[in-house]
Amino acid sequence: MKLKVYADRMSQPTRAILIFCKVNGIDYEEVKVDISKGQHLTPEFAEINPMKQLPAIVDGRFKLFESHAILIYISCAFPGVADHWYPADLFKRSKIHSVLDWHHSNLRRGAAPYVVHSTLAPVFGRPLNPQAAAEAEELLSKSLSKIESVWLKGNGRFLLGGNQPSIADLSLVCEIMQLEIVDEKDRARILGPHKKVQQWIENTRIATQPHFDEVHKVLMKAKEKLQNQRLKKANGGGGSGMGKLSHSRM
């Protein structure tokens, strides 16, 4: 019986799982659960994950939720997963745990709400919230600085300093990728100062191609749609037929 991965590719932690499975040649069935349609809130899905969140997996009779727990489980339960993803070495493994733990209250707590409050809220029938977005941005920026000053301090290509990615790189990079759908100007402001982070994202992407790009397609299509909406609004709201977003603020 194949591993089942309950997924929505607009969900950052879900993307990490999918890319991980593809890179490691793990045989699985992707079961789409559309968050924008509230499918994660159905009683059927609650049977899979009582927390009603994505991702979740079912492996035979075993159910599991929380993406970090899932990444670790798959690393341990499936043969052929290269050691660098979740090293057997206790010291390296502990470092990965501390990055993944830190992530919840820092990068994730900054990046995810920032994207929702500045851009995605209307998809869920909620209004944008510039104040909440500003608060989230502050935490996001602090987190990006911490990543650079603590884990990307040396010349390592990845968070643990080595030449290969771990599940920590995959999880955090997929989170930051969500920024692709916000206004270009905002993304440049937030990511621009962080050259090491940008390089690290690129390193992780290259190390997991073509799967990284393939799994991010849905996000990039959403990005394109939102960009077109912004342009339309700029043209419609600006009065003159200007193509640039200089007058309109979305």
Partner 1 sequence: MRLKVYADRMSQPSRAVLIFCKVNGIDYEEIKVDLSKNQHLTPQFAEINPMQQLPAIVDGRFKLFESHSILIYLASVFPGVADHWYPADVFKRSKIHSVLDWHHNNLRRGPVAYVLHTTLAPTRGLPLNPQAAAEAEKFISSSLSKIESIWLKGNERFLLGGNNPSIADLSLVCEITQLEVLDEKDRNRLLGPHKKVQQWIENTRNATQPHFDEVHNILMRVKERLQNQRLKGANIEGGSSTKKPSVSRM
Phi-psi region of 152 (alpha: psi -120 to 50; beta: other; left: phi over 0): alpha
Residue 212's Cα: distance from chain center in Å?
A: 11
**Length reported for the chain:** 250
65 forms part of the interface with partner 1 (CB under 8 A): yes
- Determine if 62 is a binding residue for partner 1 (CB under 8 A): yes
Chain centroid to Cα 73, Å, comes to 19
For partner 1, the closer of residues 69 and 188 by Cβ is 69
Least distance in angstroms from the C-beta of 151 to partner 1: 9
Q: According to CB under 8 A, which one of 35, 64, 132, 250 is a site residue for partner 1?
A: 64
90 is an interface residue for partner 1 by CB under 8 A: yes
Order of strands across the sheet with 62-65? 28-32, 3-7, 56-59, 62-65
Minimum Å gap between C-beta 66 and partner 1 is 4
| Residue 145 contacts partner 1 per CB under 8 A | no
Q: Is residue 69 at the binding interface for partner 1, with CB under 8 A as the rule?
A: yes
Instruction: Rule CB under 8 A: say whether 72 interacts with partner 1.
Output: yes
Q: Does 42 bind partner 1 (CB under 8 A)?
A: no
Contacts of 250 (CB under 8 A, 6+ apart): 183, 229, 230, 233
Residue 58: closest CA among 31, 37, 33: 31
Residue 64 or 121 having the CB closest to partner 1: 64
Judged by CB under 8 A, the stretch of 29-37, 68-76, 132-140, 195-203 that binds partner 1 is 68-76
**What gap in Å lies between CA 47 and CA 77, rounded to an integer?**
23
Applying CB under 8 A, which of residues 4, 22, 84, 97 lies at the interface with partner 1? Answer: 97
Report the C-alpha gap between 234 and 223 in whole angstroms: 16
Long-range contacts of residues 132-136, Cβ cutoff 8 Å, at least 24 apart: 136/109, 136/110, 136/111, 136/112
Stretch that binds partner 1, among 35-43, 66-74, 121-129, 187-195 (CB under 8 A): 66-74
Does residue 148 belong to the site contacting partner 1 (CB under 8 A)?
no
Q: Which residues bind partner 1 (CB under 8 A)?
A: 50-51, 62, 64-70, 72-73, 76-77, 90-91, 94-95, 97-98, 100-102, 104-105, 108-109, 146, 149-150
